[in-house]
Amino acid sequence: MVDDPPAAPAPPICPDCGAEVAPALLACPACHRLVHAAELKRLAGEADQAKQTGDAGGELAAWRQALELLPPDTAQHQTVAARVAELSRAVDRQPAGAKRGSRMGKGAAGGLGALGLLLAKFKFALLFVITKAKLLLLGLTKASTLLSMLLSMGVYWTLWGWKFAAGFVVSIYIHEMGHVQALTHYGIKATAPMFIPGVGAFIRLKQYPTDRREDARVGLAGPIWGAGAAIAAYGVYLATGAGIWGAIAHVGAYINLFNLLPVWQLDGGRGFRALTRPQRWIAVLVVGLAWLLTGEGLLLLLVVAGAAAAWFGDAAPEPDRTALLQYTWLVALLSLMTRITVPGATPR
C-alpha cells in the first residue's frame, strides 16, 4: 500500500483583508499589512527599553533583527536601516567588552582616539585570554564546536604531539572567539565556531555587517585576539623557558599573519575593504617595510596581494583610520613575533 503524499499546507490568510500571503512575503500583497507586525512591535519595545537604559548594543541588536522582517522597499525599512547604521557607529566608539550603558565605558570611549582604541583592544584581548578564561569556556557549550575542536586536536596530535596540538587548537579557538565577541558587540547573529582539521575554523553569519567599517571591525577582531593569545603564550615561554610555549606563540603569530592576506574572505580582505586606495598603498608600504626588517617570506605574499587590491580592487569611498591602524599594527606586531626562536625546541 502506498500512501498519497500529504497535502501542502494552505498559505496564511491576511487577518485584515483575507488575501492569501505567500510564506516568503513580508507584507500582504493586497492591503500591505506587515506579516510580522506583532513581532516588530515587540522588537520596537525591546529597542526602546534598551535605549532608555543606555544599552546601545541591545538597541542595535533589536533593530537589526527587526530589519529582517521589513520589506526592503518600505519607508519603515529605510528608517530602521538608518537607525541601525547610526547605532553601529555609536557602538563602534565603545571599546569591545566595555560594560554597556556604564558611564565609565562611555567616558573612555569618548576620550580614545584611533590609536587608543587599538591599544585598548589589544589590552582587552590579552587580559581576556589571561584572566577571563571562564568566558571563553562559554563557546565550548556548543556540541558542534567542542566535538569539531577535539577532532582537530586529534589530527594535530598525530603530527606534533598532544601538547602542541592542544595549544595550537586553543589559539585558533581564541582567534574565532574574537570574531564572536565583535559580532556580539554589533548585535550580529552568527553560529558558534566550527573546526575543520587541516584548514582551521569558521563562523557562519546569520546576519551581515551594515557597511565596510563594521565588516572590518569584525574581520580584524580575530587577528587582534589571536595576537593576544600569541603574546600570552610568549609570556609563558619567557617565564618558564618551556620551548613548547615559544613554538605555540611563533605558529600562532604566523597563522594570524597569514589571515591578514587581503584576499577573498580572509580577515585581511575584510580589513582592506574598508580602506581607500591611498590607505591601501600605505598598508602595502608598511608590509614592505616589515619584510625588509624581518625577512619573513610570507610578507612578500601580503605585498603582492595588497598591491593588487590597491591597484584593481574596489576601494572604500571614505577613509577608515581605525581599520588602517589596526591592520598595520597587526602586521608589525605579528611580523616581529614570527622571528621568535626556540633553541632546540620540537613540537613534541
At residue 295, the pLDDT reads 93
In this structure, the answer to whether residues 215 and 118 fall within a common structural domain is yes
**CATH code for the domain in which residue 68 is found:** 1.20.58
In this structure, the answer to whether residues 71 and 152 fall within a common structural domain is no
- 174 touches 191 (CB < 8 A): no
Residue 235 belongs to some domain of the structure = yes
Question: Which band of pLDDT confidence, cut at 50, 70 and 90, is reported for residue 17?
Answer: confident
Q: What is the pLDDT of residues 170-226, one digit of tens each?
A: 999 999 999 998 998 899 998 889 998 888 898 888 888 989 999 999 999 999 999
Residue 39 belongs to some domain of the structure = yes
Helix, strand and coil in the chain, % to nearest 5: 65, 5, 30
In this structure, the answer to whether residues 117 and 219 fall within a common structural domain is yes
In this structure, the answer to whether residues 162 and 66 fall within a common structural domain is no
CA 183 – CA 305 distance, rounded (Å): 26
Residue 143 belongs to some domain of the structure = yes
In this structure, the answer to whether residues 156 and 274 fall within a common structural domain is yes
Number of domain units in the chain: 2
In this structure, the answer to whether residues 75 and 160 fall within a common structural domain is no
In this structure, the answer to whether residues 33 and 88 fall within a common structural domain is yes
Q: What is the pTM of this model?
A: 0.81
In this structure, the answer to whether residues 178 and 271 fall within a common structural domain is yes
CA distances from 174 to 2, 94, 125, 133 (A): 53, 21, 9, 10
In this structure, the answer to whether residues 194 and 49 fall within a common structural domain is no
Which domain does 249 fall in, by range?
Answer: 112-337
